């Protein structure tokens, strides 16, 4: 199998990603700092602005649409996954949480979730902040960690796998294996660390989702709103073996 994280594979996947949506409202906006980012139009909100009851109905509706030809067990498990994502997003004070799903050419369902959040930290020197993140995150041997550059400066990419347990939410044993990619972007001088995370159970589509994540990361800019994001960077090589090992 071709390694999905090679530059060539990522460039091919990136060519299939749709155009970007409009920039979100700035995280910070004054005379000196204006931080913005854009998200792909394929992602749909998980309704963080809704009440708990409204969100539950919203997640059930999405699960029923995605798994219209599936079983109640599949729909319940997926709805619980969306609830888990939304609940965690609310607790973390995220800026955005959304999901993506589409039918592949061979009629499989591909889906992923996207979370974007901002953490307060010292980013007076973005390069030092990125180096510290690489050192800290590399301590976990199950994670593939590397430093790269996006339009607004240095970034740190982490790729790994995880197993989510939804037994309590679903009322029966239910687990979901996920591949996850994260980008950490220290915003120079804004004391802000942007964290962008894509998780997917659709391993064959992981290169496309990583390409989407690369585009989102490269759309981040700060300074004056007229600053324009640059081209999507190639994603450095990583390995599938770390993800497979994490699934255990």
pLDDT number for residue 128: 95
**Residue 235: exposure state from Cβ atoms within 10 A (0-12, 13-18, ≥19):** buried
Contact at 8 Å (CB) between 18 and 100? Answer: no
Look at residue 158 and tell me whether its pLDDT is greater than 90.
yes
Rounded-to-integer distance, Cα 124 and Cα 10, Å: 31
Residue 89 has pLDDT above 90, yes or no: no
Report the alpha-carbon distance of residue 129 to residue 140 in Å, rounded: 18
Whole-model pTM: value is: 0.72
User: pLDDT tens across 125-141, in order?
Assistant: 999 999 999 999 999 98
Say what the alpha-carbon torsion angle 133, 35, 29, 134 is, to the nearest 10 degrees: 0
Taking phi over 0 as left and psi of -120 to 50 as alpha, with beta for the rest, 60 belongs to: alpha
Tell me the β-bridge partners of 156. Answer: 147, 184
Contacts of 96 (CB under 8 A, 6+ apart): 24, 39, 45, 114, 115, 116
CA angle 81, 83, 85 (to 5 degrees): 70
Q: How confident is the model at residue 169 (pLDDT cuts 50, 70, 90)?
A: low
Which has the minimum average pLDDT: 79-88, 128-137, 172-181, 219-228? 219-228
The model's pLDDT over 58-71, given as tens digits with 9 standing for 90+, comes to 999 888 887 777 78
54: confidence class by pLDDT, cuts 50, 70, 90: very high
73 against 156, higher pLDDT: 156
């Amino acid at each position: 199998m071709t390694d999905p994280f090679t530059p060539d594979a990522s460039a091919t996947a990136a060519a299939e990603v749709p155009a970007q949506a409009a920039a979100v409202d700035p995280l910070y906006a004054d005379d000196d700092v204006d931080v913005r980012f854009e998200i792909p139009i394929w992602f749909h909100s998980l309704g963080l602005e809704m009440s708990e009851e409204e969100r539950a109905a919203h997640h059930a509706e999405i699960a029923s649409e995605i798994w219209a030809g599936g079983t109640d067990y599949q729909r319940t498990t997926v709805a619980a996954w969306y609830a888990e994502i939304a609940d965690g997003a609310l607790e973390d004070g995220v800026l955005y949480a959304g999901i993506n799903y589409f039918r592949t050419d061979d009629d499989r369902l591909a889906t992923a979730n996207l979370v974007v959040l901002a953490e307060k930290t010292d980013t007076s020197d973005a390069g030092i902040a990125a180096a510290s993140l690489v050192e800290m995150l590399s301590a976990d041997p199950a994670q593939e960690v590397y430093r790269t550059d996006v339009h607004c400066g240095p970034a740190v990419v982490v790729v790994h796998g995880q197993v989510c347990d939804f037994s309590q939410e679903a009322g029966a044993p239910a687990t979901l294996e996920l591949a996850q990619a994260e980008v950490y972007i220290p915003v120079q001088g804004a004391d802000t660390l942007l964290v962008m995370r894509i998780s997917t159970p659709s391993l064959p589509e992981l290169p496309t989702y990583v390409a989407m994540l690369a585009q989102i990361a490269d759309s981040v800019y700060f300074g004056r709103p007229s600053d324009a994001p640059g081209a999507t960077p190639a994603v450095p090589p990583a390995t599938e073996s770390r993800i497979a090992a994490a699934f255990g």
